[in-house]
Amino acid sequence: MRMSSRDWILLCLLSVLWGGSFFLVAVAIRQLPPLTLVALRTGLAAMALGAVLLLRGEALPRSPRHAGAFLVMGTLNNLLPFSLLFWAQTAIASGLTAILNATTPIFSIIVAHFLLADERMAPHRALGILAGFLGVVVLLGGSLLSGPGIASLGMLACLGAALSYGLAGVYGRRFRDMGLSATQVAFGQLVATSLLALPLIGVVDRPWSLAWPGLPVIAACWPWRWSRPRWPT
């Protein structure tokens, strides 16, 4: 397979959007607890995707037979990794969080090897995974040698998020046979994540007791800021 110029442009745009989200989270996490931020991010994204589906004339996924899959996918692909990554950014720099999150392909290959019969690990993939883990050891080494601390836990949380993404990638294959578009699947899992997060933030964060966030935090959470990141100067 060859990538066209359009593919490269879309890949670079996706990298900017995904990388920029770590900076915006670093701004928002100063005043909003992680679970509340998860609910805001997924809730706003669900509303945006719902509007996209309506504009396209696509039906909103409402079948009960899809609900369980959306709940599992929402947990593995959003609720768990977002919570871990957002909490990690209270302990370590956003740049390091993004770097450790880049181990997702490593965990995806490992998970697929053990759970999928048609995704066995080839020797060259095994060497790549070994090299990747050596890089993780280098990143964690100094922190672990100085004793366990909040920074070490933050880095381990990032690796836990990457593992969750890997599990989500394997689980997501079941949506191929459900007759749903990629946008419908994304909408369904975002709605499921928001519904799962609401009772959690009510018990853990108690958002009604929080001070009203400042303008930078509101701007970081606003939907267009999630899609058009601005880097600090």
What is the residue extent of each domain of the chain? Answer: 19-59+66-227
Nearest-angstrom CA–CA distance, 206 and 202: 5
- 225 pLDDT band (50/70/90 cuts)? very low
Q: Which pLDDT does position 222 carry in this prediction?
A: 62
Which sign does the torsion angle of CA 141, 143, 146, 147 carry?
A: negative
How confident is the model at residue 83, as a pLDDT?
Answer: 95
Q: Residue 155: phi, psi to the nearest 5?
A: -70, -40
Q: What are phi and psi for residue 89, nearest 5 degrees?
A: -75, -5
Could you tell me the pLDDT band of residue 231, with boundaries at 50, 70 and 90? Answer: very low
pLDDT of residue 135: 77
